[in-house]
Chains A and B, each alone.
Chain A
Amino acid sequence: MTIRSRVLEALGTVYDPELDEPITSLRFVTSCDVSADGDVHVRLRLPTPQCAPNFAYLMAVDARNAVRRLPEVRGVKVVLEDHYTGDEINAAVGRGEAFAQAFPGETEGELDALRDLFRRKALVARLSRLCEALLAGGATPEEVTALRVADLPEDADGRRCIELREQLAIPAEDDAPAFVLPDGAPIAAADLRLWLRKARLMRTSLEVNGGICRSLLRIRYDLADTKEVAA
């Protein structure tokens, strides 16, 4: 495996916090160059020049950190291009500064609360997809709500749910309840239908936003079309 492919693999672990999808599959990574000495230069692009600065900063800083962790990498430069606040974000990310330092006087705190909020949305959205599949397969609400983390499928949704739970400090051990509310509390069988109604809306929201972002990016950079991924 070349350094470059390891760098790309690392970038694949960076998620758009708003869409809960890797920045690589969203095609936000414009290019990734690695010098013979192990210096990495990553260029990022977004669907519009106005995309929210807070999420844009998170993707840039997460990309930098993910690549820096690779022992074979000597230096990393991540540049967000064609963005209204690109100068501020690039300067702060390059110096390893926090979001508040990128926008002095324009923030009240850091981005932990924002990230936390969207991880909870992402968790519930993914759980809704798993829950629907179980109900469609004939499971009863009682059976679904009795499931444990160990029962979650070994697919992308199942694995990401565990990852998100760990990040959110929601119990992720094998015997923890599989289906939970955004705050991590288990769902009672009687509440499952209403929970699913809300969770499905959250998922639709994420999917639709992802769809719009993909379309706008494609138009902005004249990229080839990709298939719609509506569930």
Chain B
Amino acid sequence: MYEHNGEKYFVMDGHLHFWDASPANWVKGQEQYAKGWIECFHAYQGLGPPDTHWPIEKFQKYSEEDFVKDVFEDGHVDVGLFLPTYLKQWYTEGFNTAERNARMAEKYPDKLIVNGRWDPRDGEAGLKQLEEDAKRYGLQGVKLYTAEWHNGSRGWKLTDPESQFFLEKCQELGIKNIHVHKGPTIWPLDKDAFDVSDVDHVATNFPELNFIVEHVGLPRIEDFCFMATQEPNVYAGLAVVIGGLMHARPRFFAKVMGELLFWVGEDKMLFASDYAIWEPKWQVEGFVDWTYPADEAYSDYPALDVAGKKKIMGLNAAKLYGVEVPPELRLPDEAGTPAAREDAQLVEGSA
């Protein structure tokens, strides 16, 4: 919970990692990729305020104590979502697996939610694994990374035929939140890897599932926004938008927020820190305090008031994951926790 100017905000962090990218975990022969990946993340951390930068050694592998302090004690986070990224081609035990996340979550069952993952290239074995993970972790969501390298393949799409089996399996298992993170490679390599039209397609075909596009589709915000206006079950995950722009490029941040509020709307935007790329503390405090620059260039973007910020900070995500919000942190007109799809239909109906 974060309190500011007499207002109390329920904080749900939609994108947390507990990774191990230390050299001991690098696969032999793949060191340049494992090293390059974590160094790239570390460069992103450089977009945050200087006093929040970590040395690379700590960034490669941080402790449970670091996590608890940064996220819960200093970071104001009430409930956090773990989004795994496996990358087992480069990291022996995986970069950030559900298993590793679950070991931490077991100790903080009211504060951490474990999400799973799948990869259509794993075929039948992957479907079986998904079933087991769903049972073991009580999955409500999965994180998909479409640019993962795997046995000579550099990526996949949600419209690949095999993906349909996994989406059906999610529906069957009650895994209703599909977090999609697009990366720089895809099969075939001549296509735009960041294109979100496959999300558009499956969002239409699987209306009972929610599709949370991580990093709001960056670097294809425009494609994401046009798609999100068409699909009631598509949401914007704000990781990287806040961490990467709010401090480093405040005017760009204001423009992106303005565009998202116009095209996607405050009911479908979810706060996320992307810890440990960035600590939540400065992001939560900065976002709650944020306003557009006093400049004509921002005059026709929708306003964002306290109620809107409360939704984005946590109330929207709490609905998607059925998290009980203490009554004093809800909005006055919130009666219970309606299902996301019904909400979305109302939004669509009024458009």
A residues bordering B, Cβ < 8 Å?
18, 47-54, 84, 99-100, 103, 106-111, 113-114, 117, 121, 197-198, 201-202, 204-205, 207-209, 211-212, 215-216, 219-220, 228, 230-231
Does B218 lie at the interface of the complex (its beta carbon under 8 Å from any beta carbon of A)?
A: yes
Give every chain A residue within 8 A of B36 (Cβ-Cβ).
Answer: 49-50, 84
Does B249 lie at the interface of the complex (its beta carbon under 8 Å from any beta carbon of A)?
A: yes
Decide: A208 and B255 in contact? CB cutoff 8 A.
yes
Q: Which residues B174-196 have CB closer than 8 A to chain A?
A: 183-185, 187-194
Decide: A201 and B190 in contact? CB cutoff 8 A.
no
CB distance from B241 to the nearest CB of A (A): 9
Complex Cα gap A208–B245 (Å): 9
CB distance from A212 to the nearest CB of B (A): 6
The answer, among B40, B192, B248, B256, for a CB contact under 8 Å with A204, is: B256
Give every chain B residue within 8 A of A207 (Cβ-Cβ).
Answer: 252, 255
Selected A-B contacts with CB under 8 Å, 5 pairs: A52-B193, A53-B184, A106-B187, A204-B256, A212-B218
Give every chain B residue within 8 A of A205 (Cβ-Cβ).
Answer: 219-222
Give every chain A residue within 8 A of B184 (Cβ-Cβ).
Answer: 50-53
The answer, among A51, A106, A114, for a CB contact under 8 Å with B192, is: A114
Decide: B221 and A208 in contact? CB cutoff 8 A.
yes
Does B33 lie at the interface of the complex (its beta carbon under 8 Å from any beta carbon of A)?
A: yes
Give every chain B residue within 8 A of A197 (Cβ-Cβ).
Answer: 262
Decide: B40 and A49 in contact? CB cutoff 8 A.
yes
- For this complex, into which size category does the number of interface residues on chain B fall? 35 or more
Complex Cα gap A230–B221 (Å): 16
Q: A50-B37, A205-B222 are in contact. Are A215 and B249 (CB under 8 A)?
A: yes
Give every chain A residue within 8 A of B46 (Cβ-Cβ).
Answer: 215-216, 219
Decide: B190 and A99 in contact? CB cutoff 8 A.
yes
Does B47 lie at the interface of the complex (its beta carbon under 8 Å from any beta carbon of A)?
A: yes
Give every chain B residue within 8 A of A100 (Cβ-Cβ).
Answer: 190
CB distance from B204 to the nearest CB of A (A): 21
Q: Which residue of B lies closest to A203 (CB)?
A: B222
Residue from A109, A121, A197, A204 with most neighbouring chain B CB atoms (10 Å)? A204
Q: Which residue of A lies closest to B193 (CB)?
A: A52
State the 9 A-B residue pairs at the shortest beta-carbon distance, nearest first: A230-B251, A219-B46, A49-B36, A108-B188, A52-B184, A209-B219, A205-B222, A107-B190, A219-B43
Does B165 lie at the interface of the complex (its beta carbon under 8 Å from any beta carbon of A)?
A: no
Complex Cα gap A110–B36 (Å): 28
Total contacts A to B, CB within 8 angstroms?
Answer: 121
B residues bordering A, Cβ < 8 Å?
32-33, 36-37, 39-40, 43-44, 46-47, 147, 153-154, 183-185, 187-194, 218-222, 225-226, 244-245, 248-249, 251-252, 255-256, 259, 262-263, 297
Known pairs A18-B219, A204-B255, A212-B244; list 9 more (Cβ under 8 Å): A49-B39, A52-B184, A53-B189, A201-B225, A201-B263, A205-B222, A208-B221, A216-B43, A228-B249
Complex Cα gap A18–B195 (Å): 12
Q: Which residue of B lies closest to A121 (CB)?
A: B222
Complex Cα gap A32–B185 (Å): 29
Q: Which residue of A lies closest to B220 (CB)?
A: A205
Complex Cα gap A133–B277 (Å): 38
Decide: A114 and B190 in contact? CB cutoff 8 A.
yes
CB distance from B40 to the nearest CB of A (A): 5
Give every chain A residue within 8 A of B185 (Cβ-Cβ).
Answer: 50, 52-53
Q: Which residue of A lies closest to B260 (CB)?
A: A201
Decide: B251 and A209 in contact? CB cutoff 8 A.
no
Decide: A204 and B251 in contact? CB cutoff 8 A.
no
Give every chain A residue within 8 A of B189 (Cβ-Cβ).
Answer: 53-54, 99, 103, 106-107
Complex Cα gap A208–B263 (Å): 17
Complex Cα gap A51–B262 (Å): 29
The answer, among B154, B190, B226, B256, for a CB contact under 8 Å with A198, is: B226
CB distance from A55 to the nearest CB of B (A): 9
Give every chain A residue within 8 A of B263 (Cβ-Cβ).
Answer: 201
Q: Which residue of B lies closest to A124 (CB)?
A: B222
The answer, among A50, A121, A202, A211, for a CB contact under 8 Å with B40, is: A50
Decide: B190 and A202 in contact? CB cutoff 8 A.
no
Decide: B183 and A50 in contact? CB cutoff 8 A.
yes
Decide: A114 and B191 in contact? CB cutoff 8 A.
yes
Complex Cα gap A107–B189 (Å): 5
Q: Which residue of A lies closest to B226 (CB)?
A: A198
CB distance from B256 to the nearest CB of A (A): 6
Decide: B221 and A106 in contact? CB cutoff 8 A.
no
Complex Cα gap A121–B43 (Å): 28
Complex Cα gap A18–B222 (Å): 13
The answer, among A51, A109, A201, for a CB contact under 8 Å with B221, is: A201
Complex Cα gap A198–B263 (Å): 10
Complex Cα gap A51–B39 (Å): 13
Complex Cα gap A108–B36 (Å): 28
Decide: B190 and A230 in contact? CB cutoff 8 A.
no
Q: Which residue of B lies closest to A207 (CB)?
A: B252
Give every chain A residue within 8 A of B251 (Cβ-Cβ).
Answer: 228, 230
